[in-house]
Structure 1
């Protein structure tokens, strides 16, 4: 709620522990100027084009011996003809299943290279594949990417197509199974008319996926995937002089493909306002207003995005301030543009606070939109949006690869704007935006009739399922391997070069004036400082009789201090380009700051005020309590949320600190009763210098950081007794069984198995983690390879060793198609028993896993956030600061027998407790076939 500066402070606020002097607006005024920030965003590049039309862009960044390889094909779901929806995305999957000269899963050779940030995605207009690899593995990576660009079709057969069709359909089920998951189809179909290239979603329909044939696949590849329809970006430890002969060597012989003609696309306007109403298993009603708007390169897109962000994209947006803070009609709001090549969607959304009439929220939503269009934003709002945009871009300069790094930024500009440096034009447009320009553009596009989608709590409509898989005929021996059908001889796969050594940044130590220990590492890649105060608290510290106290307390740290109200705090962060957040894991509670180093002093002043002087004003406590209750209700509509609320308390027992729902949101009956005094007591017992350690990564020197921290926190002292935890209470004996939660209409079943193992997080568990990677910890693991790649029953299956300080939990996680629920548990158990018994780690699995882990080390600490995380892991696991410098030697010494011994000592598959969330009418008969007791269970605060 907005509170005036003349407000009367509550007694709770007056009694705040060791209050600092009231923070003034001058103390949190930004130092950095927007033009200076814009000038810092620069990704210099060279480019050249091969004779076959392949465009190549090279950016040099020598901070680490790694290179990002990003391959973008200018083809996506908008290019799909009628009856072929989902085809581009299906083909993305097929291109990960081996090529003519490298048959088998594409991830396998990449893992051996030591690739990180490797994946592929499909959008409406492009399909991209990306990986960040050690420099020593670059040449092999280029060979692999060129083989699937120019030598793919002979490796694709009916078996691979059928398998990946099933994987994609399970990916679709997984997304559809989430609350509000079906709204994505209504958005596209409601905004864009039948026949429009953007009328259908990228994931496609089950019927069209069922109908995809092998001939369709090959025709699609020949028509769309030529080098002349692609861009390759190399970013990192590479230069153009080195790159050009390599690209000629590996890509130069690929024949040019047909010229690709993309469909003509217009931005449609609805003839009249249109409303689509849906029901779903959701916690609260969601109201959405949508407009079709121009695409990425249109001159209107930046000012229109500024308008949308002012409306609902800032922390102190118009919608947040009115609907969430002041009037308390909504629990969350948002507004922004999903920008695509030819069109975009401006989406405004409000989740109605339970108990409030949705019609009231809908009316206020329209009034607030109308007010923005009538009066426009003010100069401060426009400046805050531009600062946020520039700050995000500066942060992205740390990363060479992935989806948001420098390679991706250059590729996006090249594909969509024919200009790799298009990001500069975008930033210049944000910096030059004026209230008058933003107002005019917003009126132009948002005064047209909107599409309204309303999703209310209730039962879902019937689900479109895939056709049952046909019975498989016995395999027929082929005359020659399928991959040779269209194969052309080429140079052999090149060897991997000499491995580079990791040199973790030097860690320095200091002590703040309040006695708090500080660990510091210097990184000057970007002008950014990251600060994290980590306290020995976490979910394990939540009072057993008042579960949810910590979560509610943390949510209020940015909702008002003795000097500033919640709106003022949000505005201050936006002006500074800073991000301050609080969160908790099982053992630790953290408050973190990421700020432009030029604004560090005012950002730390704000950070210190929020940490030391939370007001816990009663009206704000009531508002955030309702939001937390809604989050709990939302957890109970999500399969993952249901399972992770039920399983941990049963594994650890009610007396153990870890015997709580892992989300930390607590017990709804308790949350309803929490008072400001409860929150104050938890804050004072746990968020205090004697419970905390400071971690900093910055381009600024240590002495400047210490001086800045002491200015706001040097005299901060703990008040009253410190808290204590119950994280060493006895763990109950295992009671293996299946707990079934009925979620009618679910197209997929969520399976979560778990047990408490003997190992603690402070043990040296690198061998155990490597062994778990072979079982289920990475994409090529036994479990994922069986249930996804062989059987096609799941989009992904994994096993997880969850690192906590005391005895750790082990989980088996499998969202699977409903008709294979029982079979999947049986398969997981069979695979796990075999792995722990007669079919342990093979030498090939050991070599692939260990070689990959060694080679990925140099790329594992590319960003300041990575370094900060590494420092924290070392500190809390009681490891030396240079632990990562010697980890490669530790890996090299591991044998397959070592891996087997480490995991066999921990995992007992016959002691697993299972939670299964799905449509009980379909699932229960399958579970009854297993040799385990099956019990229907009741959700905490929910129904059976």
Structure 2
């Protein structure tokens, strides 16, 4: 196997060959981009079989630690579905020499991008930590690899089983949330390793015993069944002694055998229809296709993109844009180690015959299989895909960074550099190769699932375990055999890039920072508008206007805009916060000038063609319909008016709008809003790029410098006198909900432009982190929820406190009571403890380098500082501010801001189950049907 030399002084361009620095006016070819991707690495293997891969990236004083185990749901035998995922959770609950949960000691080191995931082929754990914390991190990872079973008690098993079952309920509670179970059951024969969902069944999770769970660990989590990747400010010479020290003594264990997982073909087409509480008919058509090792997998990626994945794709163009048979359509190819799933998914527009829509979809797919893609379609997909890969590889860790890329190749293909083969194959795809692969696999019989509006079938619930007649004797605490958990070295300072400000020739302010890790430019045109500028009694005007920007300009139609974006390898987007409206683009820096030209065209010259307005309006109405079936979206449509008071501009935060108002919007409404708010006087442009400021400014001047506003500028209304809701409960009745979504609202009297550092830091111990009391109580202690958080919902003119708690339906009332009790204790009888204070300050200071590793994080920070009127070097001064804080200061800030007696609640759940629970809480309860929420403004 080829080894790539790693030098101690790797340049910031370590990811890519710096030869990519071509003139900005030239458009880089996708194949050139693909060939430039390079992640140099070294590797070694311990005597116990642990494979270790090291990549050096010196851009920040952090190291990504990623441990991948060769065990996933495909390894689960009948009766043990969900075991791999259950064990992912158990391995966060402490080990023999590091009792307690994994999050506490990692929080102290300032870990970022910390998580674990399970899927068909693997279980992985990852965190990005300061270099000074690497000893502690490796100790903890090695302890749960080699010293775990003694820490798994019946109480720990019961706790994490409950958390996993609530994770399952949370997914199942979504519209269309049961479709994947039907898909896998139909596509795979009984007993096929890929034939069941990773989350498992309630019955199998119920049946998991302490003995079987411990046996599962012994069978799958040895060092010789794992890959460890270290990526960041480290090299192999530094890494080897550390890995030997912490992992070398762990005994080799069993190794997962490669399961037999042939690609099945259905003997005949299968069609199934199910009912769900959804707004639109959804048709999903699926095939099982080859996996990662097959070249056909890449060709099928291209086929999916051309068919339905790209914005310019054939299905989107025909079914959504031109013929208006669907409100949305997508195609995807999900590639796993041994096989994949190719799917086409269409939401049929209301009033359209689903059979007619499906017939047309089939005709488009058949035409694609007959003729294949064009060369331009292939190249557009390649450009977008490679650009996306480059963007993701700016991170050393996380869900898609360099450590993940190397680990995946090593585990699945025995080649950490397998990504190079994928990119080479991708760059070499032709219309003929894509057509051949698509014909091979998509002409086979398919499984088609149609989900229609209606009452769901009875839900498979977990069973309450029978109480033991004799309480089991407590298990003896394991003896510490490895000494204390290592300490942490001195925290490295944050090197936040210098922010420069200048102006374009027409006066638009440019706020710029340089980051050279990857040849990528990110730009945001930010307008002083936002939800607060939406039109009273016409809520949804802003969103429809923004949706129209990419649907045609005076020189390009929607397909031409999509094609131009894809050729550049760019990502073009729009969005809004409560205070600001955004148009953004990210593109490889060699394409910066045409990217800025495209950004300027959609921002400055929207056509608002009447036919397109009518079409996009219908899409937005369909989205509103979806929101009215989604539990979290239902709550979010009711909460703002209660939180801010009806007359407050922020109360207009109302999902995708009022359906009656949106239906009545005209082209003139959109033109008027655009001219009033999307204008140069209200704009600032924020850019993070590897290109120098002078070059970026010149490019923006060519695109935006001659822009002048038309007509009168919009003026935001002053806050009208309004009163937030009194303490009460609003119950939104959503039948057949296995979970309830609880939202708590608390007006605080704070503004986002205030200095909120103290109160936000205090909240870390209450609701702002995984280890916050709200989450630890309802998730870890009571295991009634998959995750609970509370945040200050910050905007320029307000900062109310909002709690989000999805909980199992039969614990809804108790959960509200627990949240109220936790809030009361935090502000009175049990303020921040010394341990919480020290842990919070340690995390806040040590996490800063990891928090701002990527250009997207820097770009967001620049906008946040500007909105809240903070100095551009605000984050560079944060560590000093944190270290100067006292516990008394945080206690006082929390008591002043948080009055639990003013909490009100929005609960989305099944009223027949939930109402009796809520009636016992001593607050007035108002029940409203989900259908009535549409007019809640």
Calculate the TM-score normalised by the size of structure 1: 0.95
Partner residue of 1:638 out of 630, 652, 658: 630
Q: Distance in 2 between matches of 1:191 and 1:71?
A: 31
Paired residues of 1:279 and 1:456 also in contact (CA < 8 A): yes
Aligned to 1:271: 267
Q: Relative to structure 1, is the Cα distance of residues 418 and 271 closer, same or farther in structure 2, using a 3 angstrom cutoff?
A: same
The question of 1:892 aligning with 2:883 is answered yes
Aligned to 2:212: 216
Aligned to 2:243: 247
The question of 1:457 aligning with 2:453 is answered yes
Partner residue of 1:690 out of 678, 681, 691: 681
Q: Relative to structure 1, is the Cα distance of residues 39 and 892 closer, same or farther in structure 2, using a 3 angstrom cutoff?
A: same
The question of 1:514 aligning with 2:510 is answered no
Cα distance, 1:854 vs structure 2: 0.4
1:611-669, Cα deviation, whole Å (9 max, x unpaired): 11100000000011001111111111011000010111122222210112343x11100
Aligned length: 913
The question of 1:597 aligning with 2:589 is answered yes
The question of 1:680 aligning with 2:671 is answered yes
Q: Relative to structure 1, is the Cα distance of residues 224 and 563 closer, same or farther in structure 2, using a 3 angstrom cutoff?
A: same
Q: Secondary structure at the match of 1:573?
A: helix
Partner residue of 2:38 out of 39, 42, 45: 42
Q: Distance in 2 between matches of 1:522 and 1:943?
A: 46
Q: Distance in 2 between matches of 1:197 and 1:746?
A: 30
Aligned to 2:754: 763
What does 1:295-694 correspond to in 2, within 5 Å?
295-471=291-467, 478=474, 480-481=476-477, 484=478, 487=479, 489-663=481-655, 665-694=656-685
Cα distance, 1:157 vs structure 2: 0.3
Aligned to 2:86: 90
Cα distance, 1:943 vs structure 2: 9.9
Q: Distance in 2 between matches of 1:406 and 1:531?
A: 24
1:18-51, Cα deviation, whole Å (9 max, x unpaired): xxxxxxxxxx997112232112211000000000
Q: Distance in 1 between matches of 2:601 and 2:573?
A: 13
1:60-83, Cα deviation, whole Å (9 max, x unpaired): 000000000000000000100110
Paired residues of 1:728 and 1:806 also in contact (CA < 8 A): no
Partner residue of 1:150 out of 130, 136, 146: 146
Cα distance, 1:545 vs structure 2: 2.1
1:384-435, Cα deviation, whole Å (9 max, x unpaired): 1111111111112210000100000000000011000000000000110111
Aligned to 1:859: 850
Q: Secondary structure at the match of 2:732?
A: strand
Q: Secondary structure at the match of 1:58?
A: strand
Paired residues of 1:651 and 1:731 also in contact (CA < 8 A): no
Q: Relative to structure 1, is the Cα distance of residues 85 and 477 closer, same or farther in structure 2, using a 3 angstrom cutoff?
A: closer
Paired residues of 2:153 and 2:475 also in contact (CA < 8 A): no
Q: Relative to structure 1, is the Cα distance of residues 37 and 794 closer, same or farther in structure 2, using a 3 angstrom cutoff?
A: same
Paired residues of 1:586 and 1:662 also in contact (CA < 8 A): no
Q: Secondary structure at the match of 2:273?
A: strand
Q: Distance in 1 between matches of 2:556 and 2:547?
A: 16
Q: Secondary structure at the match of 1:659?
A: helix
Cα distance, 1:941 vs structure 2: 5.5
Q: Distance in 2 between matches of 1:943 and 1:893?
A: 49
Stretches of structure 1 that go unaligned for 5 or more consecutive residues are 1-27
1:148-167, Cα deviation, whole Å (9 max, x unpaired): 00010100000000010000
Tell me which moved more, 116-125 or 904-913: 904-913
Partner residue of 2:107 out of 106, 111, 116: 111
Partner residue of 2:869 out of 855, 862, 878: 878
Paired residues of 1:58 and 1:240 also in contact (CA < 8 A): yes
Q: Distance in 2 between matches of 1:29 and 1:135?
A: 39
Q: Secondary structure at the match of 1:581?
A: strand
Aligned to 2:133: 137
Cα distance, 1:186 vs structure 2: 0.9
Cα distance, 1:715 vs structure 2: 0.9
Paired residues of 2:638 and 2:933 also in contact (CA < 8 A): no
Q: Distance in 1 between matches of 2:804 and 2:399?
A: 25
Partner residue of 1:181 out of 174, 177, 201: 177
Aligned to 1:8: none
Q: Distance in 2 between matches of 1:479 and 1:448?
A: 55
Q: Distance in 2 between matches of 1:781 and 1:731?
A: 32
Aligned to 2:4: none
Aligned to 2:74: 78
Cα distance, 1:727 vs structure 2: 5.3
Cα distance, 1:94 vs structure 2: 0.3
Q: Distance in 2 between matches of 1:514 and 1:646?
A: 42
1:850-880, Cα deviation, whole Å (9 max, x unpaired): 1011000011111111111111111111111
Q: Distance in 2 between matches of 1:143 and 1:645?
A: 46
CA RMSD of aligned residues (A): 1.5
Aligned to 2:119: 123
Paired residues of 2:511 and 2:687 also in contact (CA < 8 A): yes
Paired residues of 2:734 and 2:910 also in contact (CA < 8 A): yes
Q: Distance in 2 between matches of 1:768 and 1:286?
A: 45
Q: Distance in 2 between matches of 1:408 and 1:437?
A: 28
Q: Distance in 2 between matches of 1:473 and 1:102?
A: 32
The question of 1:99 aligning with 2:91 is answered no
Aligned to 2:29: 33
Q: Secondary structure at the match of 1:650?
A: helix
Q: Distance in 2 between matches of 1:925 and 1:674?
A: 42
Q: Distance in 2 between matches of 1:235 and 1:848?
A: 26
Aligned to 1:815: 806
Q: Distance in 1 between matches of 2:545 and 2:277?
A: 29
Aligned to 1:281: 277
Aligned to 1:23: none
Q: Distance in 1 between matches of 2:752 and 2:439?
A: 56
1:290-342, Cα deviation, whole Å (9 max, x unpaired): 00001111121111211111101111001011001110111111111111111
Paired residues of 2:645 and 2:724 also in contact (CA < 8 A): no
Q: Distance in 2 between matches of 1:709 and 1:55?
A: 48
Paired residues of 1:29 and 1:576 also in contact (CA < 8 A): no
Paired residues of 1:280 and 1:458 also in contact (CA < 8 A): yes
Tell me which moved more, 501-510 or 259-268: 259-268
1:215-255, Cα deviation, whole Å (9 max, x unpaired): 01110000100000000000000000000010000000000
Q: Relative to structure 1, is the Cα distance of residues 933 and 584 closer, same or farther in structure 2, using a 3 angstrom cutoff?
A: same
1:430-473, Cα deviation, whole Å (9 max, x unpaired): 11011111111110100000000111111111100000143477
Q: Distance in 2 between matches of 1:816 and 1:742?
A: 15
Q: Secondary structure at the match of 2:218?
A: helix
Cα distance, 1:503 vs structure 2: 1.9
